[in-house]
Amino acid sequence: MIRLAWQNLSVVQPGILYRSSHPTPGHLTAWTRRLGLRSIINLRGARACGSDALSRDTAKRLGLAHYDMGLESRGAPHRDRILRLTEIYQTMATPALIHCKSGADRAGLAAGIFVLLQGGTAAKALRQLALWPYGHISASSTGILDAFFRLYAATAEGKTPFLDWVRTEYGEHALKRDFRTHGLANFINDNLLRRE
């Protein structure tokens, strides 16, 4: 019910990229008219559920290019998925909308990656993973996404371009091994908010 009232729609780069929770057909139609959307990127990946079928059908009806780009919210970002998302960003028709279930975690990761690809800083990318206004809880297991950007900032920013770092230096297993969460934050994220 919360996601019906609060779609978490935000601007990543005006006229180029927007982010949200999983849009209803009505919201996607209204946003396409208002923002001129041409592409939609589903960060949940293809799913056998009603919300996926409805948004896929609405995108087809509206003439939007539809991409399935499943990202993880509780694991270290996979190198191959970052590179595939980069390819989508480089070839998609804009303006585009990225969405996950709640618009807080995977949408924040994908938006932060976009920021870095556009020459932004890791600090600016991290702002895409904020409690306010997005609802991201960094103390929970989804905080590994924050740790990903912090790792780049600590080890390579200013020395190695982001994509080169991803291709040659980034170690997702080490990031996962070194990351720690907090039980209460996980309970809130997983049980109360029922995030994926």
Chain mean pLDDT for the chain? 92
Residues in contact with 43: Cβ distance below 8 Å, sequence separation at least 6, in sequence order: 69, 70, 71, 98, 99, 100, 106, 107, 110
Predicted pLDDT at 38? 98
Residue 181 confidence class, pLDDT cut points 50, 70, 90: confident
Task: Report the distance separating Cα 180 and Cα 21, nearest Å.
Answer: 26
7-36 tens-digit pLDDT: 999 999 999 999 999 999 999 999 999 999
Average pLDDT over residues 86-94: 98
Q: Is 166 exposed, middle or buried (0-12, 13-18, 19+ CB in 10 A)?
A: buried
Task: Report the distance separating Cα 137 and Cα 157, nearest Å.
Answer: 24
Q: Is the pTM of this model over 0.85?
A: yes
Task: Report the distance separating Cα 104 and Cα 163, nearest Å.
Answer: 23
66-79 tens-digit pLDDT: 999 999 999 999 99
Report CA dihedral (90, 96, 99, 103) to the nearest 10 degrees: 110
Predicted pLDDT at 188? 74
Predicted pLDDT at 180? 82
- Among left, alpha and beta (phi > 0; psi -120 to 50; other), residue 88 is alpha
Q: Where are the domains of the chain?
A: 2-191
**Could you tell me the fold of the domain covering 2-191?**
Protein-Tyrosine Phosphatase; Chain A (3.90.190)
Flag whether pLDDT at 51 surpasses 60: yes
